[in-house]
Structure formats: structure tokens, C-alpha cells
A and B are shown apart, each in its own frame.
Chain A
Amino acid sequence: MSTKSKHIIKTTNLSIGYSSKKKVNTIATNLNIELKKGNLVCLLGKNGVGKSTLLRTLTKVQPALSGDIFINDKNLNNLNNLDLAKSLSLVLTERLPESTLSVYEIVALGRQPYTNWVDKLSEKDLKIINRAIEQTNTKHLINSKYYELSDGQLQKVLIARALAQNTKIIILDEPTAHLDIHHTIETFTLLKKLAKEFNKTIIVSTHEVNIALQLSDVLMLMTSANFIAGKTEELIENNSLNQLFDSDLISFNKTLKQFTISNF
């Protein structure tokens, strides 16, 4: 084990963006990320700065322009979809297509990378599904159809599905975008608990800056000019957060550890 690096996700000189035949649209370059196991990582940045593009690249939904991504010391390019599905699971912002799936069925779908070709759930699968349901406190919902759920409940169910996939890494794209403050905090504390107690590495892109400052172990700050990643306390201490919005309207207050409205 000593030869293995302790980083579960590592990128070297990563460039992200979109390329077509005609032109290359680079969104960010020179991204060097090193993430340890069991951390809650929050990805912060303004709208349109490329948070989703970074997450899409890390999850192999779109290719990197250049540079390398290592998941568990394995190059992402050498992992096939199924290998990746066993080390990384997703919670997306997109709406689910219409169907009559029940909550239990959605969580059970998380076992697909492990089941045989007829998708038979083994005793072990059933245990893992039940554990995921207990961890997210969704037991009372299992027989409901997913369209009967509130946004907050649905978000927990989707996290349960990702947990059933039993991966070391879970990536969530703006999981609290539609939620009120109560459910937002509930979701973030759940994620924090999962990272701490079950040693998951959880990457969340979010606009809930003040919650992220209180709960995350690591922050990744994305601005159009640069990319800063580091421990949350250190970034607070060295005033890196002030660059995040590059605006006269808000500024970072170090003593309050919060963003506040300036000149008001």
C-alpha cells in the first residue's frame, strides 16, 4: 500500500472545455487537484465559470482537453464505464424523465454495476440497499412513486441511490438548488456525516457559500482568472475567498467567516 499515493482523486495540468472540429473553447487550464479520502469538498464559483464542466470532465461525461485525471491512482482514460461506476457515483441536477419508478426501485438501480445480466438482486445487494435507505433516513418513502416526493425528499433518495452504488467517491452537481434553507442544511449535514463516518470522498458544486464554509473540509474556488484548492481554514486565513466573486457588491469577512454585502 505504501507505493499508492494517498490521493483518491488527482489531476495534473488538467485543461477543461469544449472542442469541436472548428475551434477549441478552453474554460480553465492548469488545474491541479489532490483530494484525500473522507473529505467533504465544495466547489464554489460564479454562474458560468465552469463548475459543471469540471465535474463533467472528472466523471468522464466529457473528455479533458489536456492533462490527466487519476481516480484511485488509475488514469481515467484507462477505466471503462463499469470500472468507473464502481468507484464514482453521481447525483445530477437534471430532472428525471417521467416514469412510475418507486423510491425503492430508484435506490435499487444503484446496484446495477454489480448485478448479473438479468439484474437479480442478491442478499448482499438487498443489504446494501437497505443500508443506503437507513443512512439517508428514507425508509418511510420506499413504496412511494418518485413523482410524489418533495424536492427535498427526492434529493435524499438520489443520494441513497448513489450510496447503493457503494463507491468511494460521490459527486453532486448543485444538490440544493431547489431546496429551502432547512433542507439545504439537512442535505449538507448528511453529506458531511457520510464523509466523516463512512470515509466517502464527496465533491459538491454549490452556491451555498456560507454553508460550505462551515461544513466543508476542502474548498475548490473557481474564478475566470484562476483556480484555488485548499483546506477550508487555510483559504479563510489567507483571504483567498475574497477573489471568488470579484465584485464590489460582496466581500469576504474573515472574522465572521462569511460573505457580507459591502458598502451598505
Chain B
Amino acid sequence: MVNPIKSYRKTFIILIITLLLIFFVNISLGSVYIPLKQIFLSLFDGQVEKESWKSIVLNYRLPKAITAIIVGSGLSISGLLMQTLFRNPLAGPFVLGISSGASLGVAILILGASYLGANISSYSFTSWGQAIAASIGSFLVLSAVMLAAIKVRNTMSILIIGLMFGSLTAAVISVLAYFSSANQLQQYMFWSFGSLGNLSWKEISALLIVFIIGILFVVFIIKPLNSLLLGENYAKSMGVNVKRTRNFTLIATSLLTGVITAFSGPIAFIGLAVPHLTKLLFSTSNHKTLLPAVAISGSIIMLICDSIAQLPNSEYTLPINAITSLFGAPIIIWLLVRKRKINY
């Protein structure tokens, strides 16, 4: 008997080929021109004309492209999870207060460094130091949101509580910023622009391990997420443990978004925009199709944004957050103006 649920195999094949192409385009672009053949040789361990080319490809461009894929897919998956859980098309990976928490952590580290003593302030310029501060910050704010979430039965209230914590931390950051020096402010601004580069292989491994753990949680909730499409009561009547599904969804989102924000800063719009874009390509609500689909399209879009940000053949690199928003905001506006039915 044939299962009439559409599998979208063709669309997936096209997306994967696009991803591979963009991946190589991304690696071949940069301030230094490297011939395409030499790039392939350096990737596949061949003899390269200049040792510096191999070093640029392997230690700078490849890690950045891999980071772009992890960031793009992780944020998009988190965005989709939040949109399904809250049944709200404007939910994104940061509604749980993760980016505000991370920002607070980093703001305290950089802007409050002078009050923390010399020992700590020496860490404020290293990426590990910022990653740890961001993790602690987002963990604390997230815990506060979660504790509130346990107290409230209504799923929608969690959304509002997350937003409230967001404005609370923003206020604290404003106060810190008011008393800070121009130098410190610039340092903080640079972090908040987001960045995909500057990660060593060691940092990427840490990022990847947490990413994989987050994805494992996602795999276990694909089935209950589909029954939640009929509402919590139907899901429960089909044997779904609604509370556990909600908790797994929150844990997966926290792990993915948390670790990504820790290493590459608060990257905006990807998590909100990619699920909507993907749903234009895949006219389905089935998470078995949608989750891999948003992961692939998220990676593609992040790689494109990163390629644009590098301003090909120039020495400048634009902040990645500016590019994602420049790209994301018009698309959301376009979707709303065209009154495209946005589903979630």
C-alpha cells in the first residue's frame, strides 16, 4: 500500500546540492584570492602552491563555513520548535530570554570589568571568556524563565514571561552602558554584532558536541510535536506526555541557541525568518519533513549571509548581524504585505 504523505525527496536533493555549492563558494571567497583548484587541493590534503593558502583555507575559511552551518541550522531548528510550541508565528529562538541572558553576561564581563577586578577583566577580550560569560548569563536568565514556566500552566504565559525578562536585562545593560568607557562600549558592540569567524577548531568541537546533544533531544520529540499540531488535548488523548514534550522542546532550544549565542553572539532574524521561508518551499506542517528542511535552508542562508558579509575581494567584513537583519526584515515585511498565509 502506498503512503500518500508527500516526501519532498526532489526538493531535498535540490537543497542539498545548493548547500554544497554555497559551501564551496563561501570557502572560495575572501580578502585573499585563492584559485579554486588550490582550494580543493588544500581541502583534500593535496600539494598546495603556497603554504599560506592552505593555512587560510584550513584554519580560517573552513572553520568559519562550518560555524555558519551549525549556527544557521541550530537557530532555524530552535525557531521552528518555538513557533510550534507557542503556536505563534513571531516566536523565535530568543523568546526564552537566551540572548538577553547572554548579552547580560557579556555586558557584565566587558562593561562591568573594572568592578570585577583585574583577574576577570583580563578574560574579557578572549572568545572563551566571552563564551563562558554568555553561557552563565543565558543559563541564569533561562532558569528564571523556566522556574516561572513551571509555575504557570498556560504555554502562552511563558512567551510573555520570556519577553519581560528580555526588557529587564536590556534595562540592566543600559545602566551598565551608561557608566562605561567608550572603549568598553565598542568592545561590547562588537560582540553584539555577532561573528562566525575567530573560532578555533577546539571551540568548534565544543560547539559541535553541545549542538549534537541538542539535536538528539529534537529527534525524540518529532513524533509528539506532530500530534501537538492538533492541540494539547488531542495530543494527550493519543498518549503523548505533553509536559515531557514541552520540557524536551525547551531543553533542546536552550542547548542549541545557548551554545550558538555563547560562541557567535546574538545572531538575529535567522531563527524567525528561516522557518517561514522554508514553509513556502515545503507546504507541510509535518516535523519529520520540516525539521531537516529548516536545518538545510538555515545553513544555506547563513552561508549566503556570511559570503555577503565578507564583501568579496575587499579587506572589510561587515557585522553578520547587520546582514541577517538586512536580509530577514524585508522578507518578513514582504510576506506580511503579500498576505501570504503564514503557518506555524
Chain A positions within 8 Å of B, measured between CB atoms, are 59, 61, 80-86, 88-90, 92, 94, 96-102, 104-106, 108-110, 112-113, 115, 117-119, 121, 123, 126-127, 130, 142-143, 165
Contact assessment for B3 and A89 in the assembled complex, using a CB-CB cutoff below 8 Å: no
B5 close to chain A: CB less than 8 A: yes
29 pairs of residues in contact across A and B, judged by CB atoms under 8 Å: A61-B233, A80-B239, A81-B240, A81-B241, A82-B239, A84-B237, A85-B238, A89-B237, A92-B233, A92-B234, A96-B231, A97-B87, A97-B230, A98-B344, A99-B229, A100-B285, A100-B343, A101-B229, A104-B5, A108-B5, A109-B226, A112-B238, A112-B240, A113-B238, A117-B220, A117-B223, A118-B223, A126-B3, A165-B238
B227 at the interface (CB under 8 A from A): yes
Is B284 interfacial (CB-CB < 8 Å)?
yes
Q: Return B163 CB to nearest CB of chain A, in Å.
A: 21
| A130 / chain B contacts, CB cutoff of 8 Å | 1
A113 to B239, CA, bound (A): 6
Interface: B283 (CB within 8 A): yes
B239 and A81 within 8 A (CB):
yes
Docked Cα-Cα span, A112 to B237, in Å, equals 10
Q: Name B6's closest neighbour in chain A (CB-CB).
A: A102
Contacting pair A109 B285 (CB below 8 A) = no
Chain A residues with Cβ below 8 Å from B198 are none
B279 contacts the other chain (CB 8 A): yes
Asked if residues B286 and A105 are in contact (CB atoms below 8 Å), the reply is yes
- Given the complex of chains A and B, what is the CA–CA distance between A148 and B239 in angstroms? 28
Q: How does the 8 Å CB contact mask read for B211-244 relative to A, with 1 for contact and 0 for none?
A: 0000000001011001101110110111111000
Q: In whole angstroms, what is the CA distance A126 to B1 when docked?
A: 7
Q: Which of A80, A99, A112 lies in contact with B285, CB distance below 8 A? A: A99
Contact partner, A119, options B226, B230, B279, Cβ 8 Å = B226
| Shortest distance from the beta carbon of A28 to any chain B beta carbon, whole Å | 21
Q: How far is the CA of A81 from the CA of B243 in the complex (A)?
A: 12
- Contact between A100 and B233, CB atoms less than 8 A apart: no
Contacts A61-B233, A101-B285 supplied; 12 other A-B pairs, CB < 8 Å = A81-B240, A90-B233, A92-B234, A96-B231, A99-B343, A99-B344, A101-B229, A106-B230, A109-B227, A110-B238, A119-B226, A123-B1
Partner pick for B230 among A100, A104, A109, A126, CB 8 A cutoff: A109
Chain A residue nearest to B229 (CB atoms) is: A99
Contact yes or no, B238 A105, CB < 8 A: no
* A109 & B238 in contact (Cβ 8 Å cutoff): yes
**B117 lies within 8 A of chain A by Cβ:** no
| Interface residue B4 (Cβ < 8 Å from any Cβ of A) | yes
> How many whole Å from A101's CB to the nearest CB in chain B?
5
B231 with A98: CB separation less than 8 A: no
If the complex has contacts A100-B279, A105-B5, A142-B4, are A112 and B236 also in contact, measured as CB distance less than 8 A? no
**Cα distance A145–B285 in the bound complex, in angstroms:** 11
Q: A102 vs B226: C-alpha distance in the bound complex, in angstroms?
A: 12
Query: What is the CA–CA distance of A105 and B5 in the complex, to the nearest angstrom?
Result: 7
User: CA of A106 to CA of B279 in the docked complex: distance in angstroms?
Assistant: 18
Nearest-CB residue, chain B, relative to A59 = B237
A165 to B235, CA, bound (A): 12
A119 to chain B, nearest CB (A): 4
| In-complex Cβ contact of A143 among B4, B241, B286 (8 A) | B4
Can you list the 8 inter-chain pairs with the closest CB atoms, starting with the nearest? A85-B239, A82-B239, A99-B285, A126-B1, A90-B237, A119-B223, A113-B239, A99-B229
How many Å lie between the Cα of A88 and that of B344 in the bound state?
Answer: 29
Q: Closest CB-CB distance, B34 to chain A, in whole Å?
A: 43
* Interfacial chain A residues near B223, Cβ < 8 Å: 112, 115, 117-119
| A98 contact from B222, B239, B283, B343, Cβ within 8 A | B343
In the bound assembly, the distance between CA atoms of A99 and B230 in angstroms comes to: 9
Interface flags, B1-32, vs A, CB<8A=1, else 0: 10111000000000000000000000000000
Q: Interface 1/0s, chain B 81-95, versus A by CB < 8 A?
A: 000000100000000
- CB of A203, distance to nearest CB on chain B (Å): 14
Known: A85-B239, A105-B286, A112-B239. A127 touches B234 (CB 8 A): no
Partner of A127, one of B1, B227, B231, B343: B1
* Measured CA separation A110–B87 after assembly (Å): 21
Within the assembled complex, what's the spacing in Å between the Cα atoms of A105 and B286? 8
Q: How far is the CA of A118 from the CA of B218 in the complex (A)?
A: 12
A59 to B237, CA, bound (A): 8
How far apart are the CA atoms of A104 and B5 in the complex, in Å?
A: 7
CB of A118 within 8 A of CB of B222, answer yes
C-alpha spacing A113/B241, complex, angstroms: 11
Residues on the A chain within 8 Å of B283, using CB: 100
- Residues from chain B with a CB closer than 8 A to the CB of A80 are 239
B127: min CB distance to chain A, Å = 38
- Closest B residue to A143 by CB, please name it: B4
Give CA–CA (A166, B279) in the complex, Å: 32
Q: Is the CB of B226 within 8 A of A61?
A: no
Nearest-Cβ distance from residue A222 to partner chain B, whole angstroms = 21
B290 smallest CB distance to A (angstroms): 10
B contact residues around A98 at 8 Å (CB): 87, 343-344
By a CB distance below 8 angstroms, the chain A residues around B284 are 100
Q: What is the minimal beta-carbon distance from B222 to any residue of chain A, in angstroms?
A: 7
